[in-house]
């Protein structure tokens, strides 16, 4: 049973029992656009039409450590970091320009850098922002850096261990 206690001298502010937690998450999301994006460039030969297609589904397994800080009696600040393993389903990445078609990015290759997250938790529900930097790639002689920023809504499946059975004062 987890209990929280009233902080001395602070009215209505409680200290939650849990500070750190291991967590695992399985995420699936779509990226890109469903239809090709057309563009025109100006060259010595006039306007050149082109298009690119970039879409797919990414499945991520995240394993990490989360910290919690109380924000009053109902909310908690959630922050954390961890490692992510990703896999791509049906990816498509093509650039068509000047009569040639080629792949322009080869997906998101992971690095040893962790993902970072911050958010709010209320009972079993949470809202988080999650960000990750991926390994760089070379395209057309240029270094391309990829990163992601995700907005997540979550529901914790296990028992809500932060809800006290009774309030106590010290």
Q: What is the mean pLDDT of each run of 10 residues along the chain (170 residues)?
A: 41 56 87 82 72 86 92 90 88 80 71 90 91 79 80 82 51
- The reply to whether 163 falls in a domain is no
Give me the domain span that covers residue 65: 5-155
- The reply to whether 88 falls in a domain is yes
Q: List all residues 6 or more positions away from 166 whose beta carbon is below 8 Å from its beta carbon.
A: 3
Output the pLDDT for position 50.
Answer: 84
Q: Are 147 and 31 in contact (CB under 8 A)?
A: no
Output the pLDDT for position 107.
Answer: 63
Output the pLDDT for position 13.
Answer: 40
- The reply to whether 168 falls in a domain is no
d(CA 32, CA 50): 17
Output the pLDDT for position 34.
Answer: 81
- The reply to whether 169 falls in a domain is no
- The reply to whether 161 falls in a domain is no
Output the pLDDT for position 104.
Answer: 67
Output the pLDDT for position 139.
Answer: 66
Output the pLDDT for position 101.
Answer: 82
């Amino acid at each position: 049973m987890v209990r929280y206690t009233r902080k001395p001298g602070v009215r209505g502010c409680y200290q939650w029992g849990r500070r750190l937690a291991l967590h695992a998450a399985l995420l699936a999301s779509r990226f890109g656009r469903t239809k090709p994006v057309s563009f025109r460039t100006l060259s010595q030969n006039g306007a050149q039409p082109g298009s690119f297609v970039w879409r797919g589904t990414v499945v991520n397994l995240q394993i990490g450590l989360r910290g919690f800080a109380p924000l009053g009696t109902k909310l908690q600040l959630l922050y954390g970091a961890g490692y992510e393993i990703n896999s791509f389903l049906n990816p498509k990445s093509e650039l068509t320009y000047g009569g040639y078609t080629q792949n322009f990015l080869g997906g998101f290759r992971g690095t040893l850098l962790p993902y970072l997250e911050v958010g709010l938790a209320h009972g079993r529900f949470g809202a988080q922002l999650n960000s990750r930097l991926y390994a760089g790639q070379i395209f057309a002689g240029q270094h391309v850096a990829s990163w992601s920023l995700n907005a997540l809504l979550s529901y914790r499946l296990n028992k809500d261990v932060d809800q006290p059975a009774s309030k106590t004062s010290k």
